[in-house]
Amino acid sequence: MSDDAGQGSDHIDRLRGQWQRELPELDTSPMAVLGRARRITLRVRPGIEAVFARHGLDTGEFDVISTLRRAGAPWRLTPTELYRTLMISSGGLTARLNRLEAAGLIRRREAEEDKRSLLVELTEAGRAKAETTFREDMALEKRILAGLSAHEQEDLAALLRKLALSLEDDGAGAS
């Protein structure tokens, strides 16, 4: 267990030290990455969720409108494309769509090429809300990462991408 780059000890270092004392034969190095990732996520999530709340959204609703906005003009997808992208159930998506439609941020319409299919599309209000909310979220996340240089952020992003891809490739996630 090392004190990285001369930095002070954090909560995870203290936990690892305690485990080292109690179970000295056990390698606790995974905590150095995954424990910190979890703590960081838990620490920043309330601030990010507060951004969404200021715009009258919860995280799931923001996920829907931002997915539609990222899809590009004309900012519409089928419900199937949406729930596959968001990795949620179709029932969970329906509830979100109902709330967003009631708020005037999306509309559901028949697909012109197949009247049996529905399309979900952003309204102008939905597009504006997605963009405004995303800009504020990115400003917050930039402030959160200000403790790292641009180069450190790039290095960290590259390592996290490598880890994410390895989990996708071998299915070694939360089994």
Stretch 26-41: mean pLDDT: 96
pLDDT at 53: 98
Co-location of 133 and 84 in the same domain: yes
Q: Are residues 69 and 121 in the same domain?
A: yes
36 and 122, same domain (yes or no)? no
Tokens of 94: 């329906």
Asked if residue 132 is part of any domain, the answer here is yes
pLDDT at 3: 45
Residue 91 belongs to domain with CATH number? 1.10.10.10
Same domain membership, residue 144 and residue 158: yes
Task: Let me know whether 150 and 78 are in one domain.
Answer: yes
Range of the domain at 73: 56-168
Q: Clarify whether residues 83 and 143 are in a common domain.
A: yes
| pLDDT for res 124 | 97
104 assigned to some structural domain: yes
Say yes or no: 164 and 105 in one domain. yes
Co-location of 79 and 157 in the same domain: yes
Q: What total of structural domains would you count in the chain?
A: 2
Statement to judge: residues 49 and 65 lie in one domain? no
Q: Are 135 and 65 members of one domain?
A: yes
Mean pLDDT of 18-38: 96
Whether 34 and 119 share a structural domain: no
Residue 5 pLDDT > 70: no
Domain assignment present for 39: yes
In a domain, 174, yes or no: no
Which of 28-32, 93-97, 167-171 has the least mean pLDDT? 167-171
The verdict on 135 and 63 lying in the same domain is yes
Residue 173 in domain? no
Evaluate whether residue 17 is within a structural domain: yes
Percent of the chain with pLDDT over 70: 91
Question: 45 versus 116: which is more confidently predicted?
Answer: 45
Q: Would the pLDDT of 22 be above 50? A: yes
In this prediction, residue 172 carries a pLDDT of 57
Would you call 32 exposed, middle or buried from its count of C-beta atoms within 10 A (0-12, 13-18, 19+)? middle
Q: What average pLDDT does the structure give for the chain?
A: 91
pLDDT tens-digit profile of 120-134? Answer: 999 999 999 999 999
What does the pLDDT look like over 57-116, one tens digit per residue?
999 999 999 999 999 999 999 998 998 899 888 888 999 999 999 999 999 998 777 666
